[in-house]
A and B are shown apart, each in its own frame.
Chain A
Amino acid sequence: MKKLLALVLALVLSLGAVSFAAADEPFEITVMLPQFPTTNDFDPNNNPVLDKIEELSGVRLKITWAPNSEYETLFNSMLADKNPPMVVVAQDARAATVLTSARKGAFWDLTDFIADAENYPYLAQGNAGIYNNISIDGRVYGIFRTRDFPRGGAYYRVDIAKEMGFDKEVTTIDDLTELAEKLNAYSPDTYALNMCEYVEGTVMYITILFGAPNTWGIDADGNVFPAHQSPAYLEGLNWLRNLYQNKGIDPNFITAPSGSWNDAERNDKAFMRFDCLDNTHRQQEWFEQNKGTTDIIWKAIGPVAKADGTITQWAQNPGFSGEVLINKKTSSRNGVSEEDLPKVVKFLDWCNGPEGQLLLNGGLENLTYKVDADGFRSNEGLEEANDKYVANLNQLNMGVAGDLAKPGVKRTALRLRYYDLLAELTPYAVSNPCYPFDSQTYVNYGKQLQTLLNDAAANYIAGNIDEAGLRAMWDQWSEEGGARMTQEYNDAYHAAQQ
C-alpha cells in the first residue's frame, strides 16, 4: 500500500515537473479584434507572422475576429462573458459601456504604466492630450490607436471630370458644385456622388464645408448647441438635395448597404465620394490591380473655401480611433491577473515599437511584402498571402509613438499627396468640442437620437420630406432627449471651462 502511494506521489510530482517545464512556453495573449471582409482566410495555426511575433516578443497571439458591422454588439456581450479575451479593442473610446465598465473595474488602469518611460518607452511617448481625451475620471484605461488627422475629405474621378470639361483644382464650394454638375452630365446611368445608407459622414463633410460645427457647436455666448441648429447645416443638406433632384445621387442610396459602398465607384457608376481621404489611393490601387489602370484617375480635394473666403473642413476623427483595453481578472470573471499585467503591457509597448508595427502592418518580407529599390515596402502581388497571414492584425496597431516600422510603406505619388493634404487641411479641421464629455441621455438614448438625425437628413435629401418635415423631425429629436442631452453637454462644457 505504501509503495503504491509512493508511486502515485512520484507520478504526481513528475506531472508537476512537466507543467513547470511548460512555463517556458510562450505567454499566450487572447485578443478580440474587428474583422473586415478580407480576413476570412486568416490562418491562426501555420502562420509565420504569428510565429515571428512569438519569437521576438515571447507572446503567442490568439485572435478572436469579430465582424466589424457587429462589433459593438459583440463587444457588449464580451463584457458579460466569464472568459473574456485578455486584450480587446474598443472602437469607440467614449461608448457608454466602456465608461460604466471601466468605472466598475472591468479594465486595468494603465495610468502608471504610460508614465513609466523606462520600462514602457513607446507607450510613454503617446500624446498626452489624447491620453487625456480618452481618460475616465482622470485615469487612463486604454492605449489609443493613432489615426491620421483630420482624414475626412472628398475625392473624385479626375479623368471623367476632364472628359466633361472640368480641368481645375477645386478650391471653392462653387467649384465643387460645378464639378458635381459636370460629373452628373456624364451619362444618365451614372451618378455624380456615391452615397449609401451610412449618410452621417457624407452629411458631416458637406455641412462642415458650409460652416456647420462638428456634431456640437459653441455659440457666441459660449453655450453648446447641436450642429443641425446651424443654418449652414441646412445649406449643406440643400446642396445634397439639389444634387439628388438633378439625379446626381442614386435614388436608392437609403437602402444601399454600407458594406458595398465601394461598388458604385469600382463599377464606374459613381464618380465622387465624401468619406476618408485615404480611400483615394486605395481606389486608385484597386483600379491599377484589377482594371489595369495606368493613369492617375482618382484625385483628392484639398481645402474648399466658402463664398466669404473662410475655410472649415471635417475632422473625421480626433487623431485616434478607439483604444486597446486590458480586461481585469476579478472574482467573477477571468482576464489578466495583477501578476501578468506587466507582461501584457510590455507586449502592447512592443507592438508600438518598430518590430511590432512592421509585423502587425506589413508582416514578413518576401512573404507578405516586398521591398523595392528605394527601400519601401509594398504588398503588391502578395495580396493572397496578406489575407492569410496578416489580414487585419493592423487593428491592433496603435502607433502612439508614430509609424516606426522600417521599411516604411511605399509612398506612391498619390500617397505622398495624401500626407501633404492632411497637413494642408489640419489648420481648418473642425472637431467635436464635446468629445471628452459625458451625458447621461447620450448613454441612454444617444444611438436612437443619432439615428433620428441621420434619418431626417436622408429623408430630406431624398425628397421624402420638405423643410417643415425636416424641422418636425428635429423637434422630435429635441423632445426625445436631444434638448436634455444638449443641456447636459452644456453643463459639462461649462464645468470644464472653469
Chain B
Amino acid sequence: MGMSAKAAERRALHGTGRRYWKKLGSEIKRDKWLYLLLLPGLIYFLVFKYLPMFGIVIAFEDYVPVAGVLGSDWVGFKWFESFFSFPSWTRYLTNTLILSLMNIVFYFPAPIILALLLNEMRSLRYKKVLQTMLYVPHFISIVIVVSVTFVMFGSSGLIYKLTENLLGYSINYMGSPVTFRWMIIGQTIWKETGWGTIIFLAALTNVDTQLYEAAMVDGANRLHRLWHITLPAIRSTIVLMLILRMGSVLDTGYDHLILMSNPLNRQVSQTLDVFVYQQGIQGGQFSYASAIGLMKSIVSVTMVLSTNKIAHLMGEQGLY
C-alpha cells in the first residue's frame, strides 16, 4: 500500500510516460545553461567513475593482461576464497581498522578545532595569512613529508637527539611498531588539518551574526557562544563529513605507509591497501587485487548507508 501511495505521489509530481519525458525535455530546454554547466561533471563521472566499474569483472577472473578481460579464464570466487584462507588476512584487517580508528579519533576533530580557533580570530588580515600558511602542507608531497620526518626523527635528527638527552634513553621513532601509527597520524594531522578546515570555515560563514549579538546581550561568554551557537550551526557539516569518513574506513592509502615501513614495523604497517598494492602492482596479480578492492568498496557502501541511517535516526539530515 505504501509503495503504491509513493508511486502515485511521484506520478502526480512528474507525470507518467510520454508526459514525463516531454516535461523533462521542456525543463532541460528552459534551463539549458544550467544543464550545460552540469555536463562536464556528468561526463567526468561517466568516464572516470562509471565506465571503469566494468573492470571489476576481473575480480572473478584469472586475469592475464595479454588475454584481455574477455579472454581470461573465469574463476568465480577463487580470489575471495584465497584471501580468507590466507592465514594473516586478519592482521591486515586489524592494522587497517586500528589505523582508521586512530585517524577518526585523533585526526578527524583536528580541522574542526582549528576552524573554530580561526573563526575566533579578530584580525582578519592575520587570519588570512595564517590560513594560507596552513594550506601549504597539503601541497607538499608525502615523499617529502616522510623525508623531512626521517631527518627530524632519524637517529641523527634533532628530535631524536633532543628526547635522547632529555629522557636519558633513545626512542626509535622510525623503526618501532609502537611509534609507527602515531607517526602516521602525526604526519596526517600536520599535512591535512589546514586543508580540512576549508569546508568547516565555509559552514561557519553561514552562521547568523545576529545570534551572537543576541547571545551577548543575554550574557553568554565566548565559550557559551561557541557551544550553543557555532557548533550546532556546523553540526550537519560535521555529521556529513563523518559519514563520508566512515565510508573510507578501510582506506589507509598505501604510498604513505610503504614509505614509512621497514623491517622493524612491517607487522603493523601492512594494511589492506598495502596488500592490494603488493598483489596488484608489485606482484602483477590484477585479479586478486581487484577482488580485495571490490570487497573494500562493498564495505564502504555499507558503512556509508548505515551511518547515514543512524544519522537520520538521530534526527540529523545526513548525506541525503
B82 neighbours in A (Cβ, 8 Å): 444
- Is the beta-carbon distance between B284 and A255 smaller than 8 angstroms? no
- Is the beta-carbon distance between A104 and B64 smaller than 8 angstroms? yes
CA distance A289 to B282 in the complex (A): 38
Q: Which of A95-103, A221-229, A355-363 contacts B (4 or more CB under 8 A)?
A: A95-103
- Is the beta-carbon distance between B66 and A101 smaller than 8 angstroms? yes
Q: Mark B139-166, 1 if CB is under 8 A from A, else 0.
A: 0000000000010001100000000000
CA distance A320 to B150 in the complex (A): 37
Cβ distance B34 to chain A, nearest Cβ, rounded Å: 38
Given contacts A254-B264, A454-B263, A458-B263, contact A445 B66 (CB under 8 A): no
CA distance A231 to B126 in the complex (A): 68
- Is the beta-carbon distance between A104 and B67 smaller than 8 angstroms? yes
CA distance A445 to B275 in the complex (A): 10
* Chain B binding surface SS class: loop
Residue from the set B67, B279, B286 with the largest chain A CB neighbour count within 10 Å: B67
**Could you say which of B68, B264, B266 contacts A451, with CB atoms under 8 Å apart?**
B266
CA distance A96 to B285 in the complex (A): 9
Nearest residue in A to B70 (C-beta to C-beta)?
A: A332
A103 neighbours in B (Cβ, 8 Å): 64
Q: How large is the interface on B (under 10, 10 to 19, 20 to 34, 35 or more residues)?
A: 20 to 34
A76 neighbours in B (Cβ, 8 Å): 281-284
Nearest residue in B to A102 (C-beta to C-beta)?
A: B66
B71 neighbours in A (Cβ, 8 Å): 104, 332
Q: Mark A329-340, 1 if CB is under 8 A from B, else 0.
A: 010110000000
Nearest residue in B to A461 (C-beta to C-beta)?
A: B263
Q: Mark B78-102, 1 if CB is under 8 A from A, else 0.
A: 0000100011100000000000000
- Is the beta-carbon distance between B66 and A105 smaller than 8 angstroms? yes
- Name B45-89 residues within 8 Å CB distance of A: 64-68, 71-72, 82, 86-88
- Is the beta-carbon distance between A100 and B281 smaller than 8 angstroms? no
Question: Residues on B close to A: CB < 8 A?
Answer: 64-68, 71-72, 82, 86-88, 150, 154-155, 174-175, 262-264, 266, 278-279, 281-286, 288
Q: 28 A-B residue contacts at CB 8 Å?
A: A79-B65, A96-B284, A100-B64, A101-B64, A101-B65, A104-B71, A105-B66, A105-B67, A106-B66, A252-B154, A252-B155, A254-B263, A255-B174, A255-B175, A255-B262, A328-B66, A332-B68, A333-B66, A444-B285, A445-B86, A446-B283, A447-B282, A447-B283, A451-B266, A455-B263, A459-B263, A479-B87, A480-B86
Q: Which 5 interchain pairs have the tightest Cβ spacing?
A: A97-B284, A76-B284, A106-B66, A80-B65, A455-B263
Question: Residues on A close to B: CB < 8 A?
Answer: 72-73, 75-77, 79-81, 95-97, 100-101, 103-106, 197, 199, 251-252, 254-255, 328, 330, 332-333, 443-448, 451, 454-455, 458-459, 462, 464, 476, 479-481
